[in-house]
Structure 1
């Protein structure tokens, strides 16, 4: 079931009747409103105007439905990072703008904001689901952007990208402290000053 689900979300099987989208939209609205724990499959079925048995047939369980929602939202989120870093002239620019776009997108996403506010302990397990597929997908997208800026230089951009993501996750989970990263300008300055140091070479 999980493999089929991932294939559908990746576009392998598609959603010709629009039913997956309808169910996922309803589930997303429920999770955003009530959190992860309080929502039942029956709640999603009522909002989406479908039978519970249809949801179980398409997604298997509430846990797999939640995973499907998160995977779909992550695809959208990663698309935003990809767009923000497309065509930048240097790897340093990609580090900075990828970090800014990722942190902004995470902070303003309704579902993530809801979870971080009321159920922060549920956030990390979702990132590590399916062998950390979400983190790995985000890492690979950012690493690809860095390689495009410096083709053929042999830098370990996968590690750089993963460290960037882990820094962003820590900022989300543990706000405050000595880092005043409250707006894009502050985040951009922090990334330019500190995070670009992970790149061993300078220049484009």
Structure 2
């Protein structure tokens, strides 16, 4: 069954050459950042000619976008794998928050860009963050609705509830300094149960 993140984020080209290019581009971005990485350097790292790269990705911006989409798909896949077998909305909420926060904290490219090129990344997560929030909100709301116990007549609107959690999660990733106990997965789990689950009451 197609999951919501697969519909929201179409998969980049997945032939062997395209995968080599995307892997090489990610490695270059991690080593040198986006601004200092050229198409020529990516092609060289992939062991390919510049023309071969451009046949798959028509511009530098298209290549950057393809890498970001692939990393985003991996992020949502990690959450989806963690929650899809859980039977209740509460369990899906708690584990999704735990895995999402941990994965975002450990995501190498996100960490690299936040540290070295925040001026590139931050607008897409703040003042121009509408599309990113919409994708994450739809993914989370879909997980809510797919729970076996979901009832359409609940007083909790899945989209509104999901947006609150998405915005809070983004804030914790971008500004990790907090008085909330979030050091370990168990801390995150306990915090989610204490403050998020009461919002689910109908």
TM-score by length of 1: 0.82
Cα root mean square deviation, aligned = 2.6
What is the aligned partner in structure 1 of residue 33 from structure 2?
Answer: 35
What is the aligned partner in structure 2 of residue 74 from structure 1?
Answer: 72
Within a 5 Å distance, the mapping from 1:21-170 to structure 2 comes to 21-127=19-125, 132-149=130-147, 150-154=150-154, 155-170=156-171
TM-score by length of 2: 0.83
Q: Measured at CA, do residues 21 and 135 of structure 1 come closer, stay the same or move farther in structure 2, by a change above 3 Å?
A: farther
1:52-84 superposed Cα distances (whole Å, 9 cap, x missing partner): 233233222222211110101111110111111
Worse overlay, 34-43 or 98-107: 34-43
| SS of 2:92 mapped into structure 1 | helix
Per-residue deviation, 1:90: 2.0
What is the aligned partner in structure 1 of residue 3 from structure 2?
Answer: none
What is the aligned partner in structure 1 of residue 177 from structure 2?
Answer: 176
| SS of 2:34 mapped into structure 1 | coil
Per-residue deviation, 1:171: 0.7
In 1: Cα distance, 2:119 partner to 2:99 partner: 24
What is the aligned partner in structure 2 of residue 10 from structure 1?
Answer: 10
In 1: Cα distance, 2:178 partner to 2:119 partner: 20
Q: How many residues align?
A: 192
In 1: Cα distance, 2:32 partner to 2:13 partner: 29
Contact 1:135–1:165 at 8 Å: present in 2 too? yes
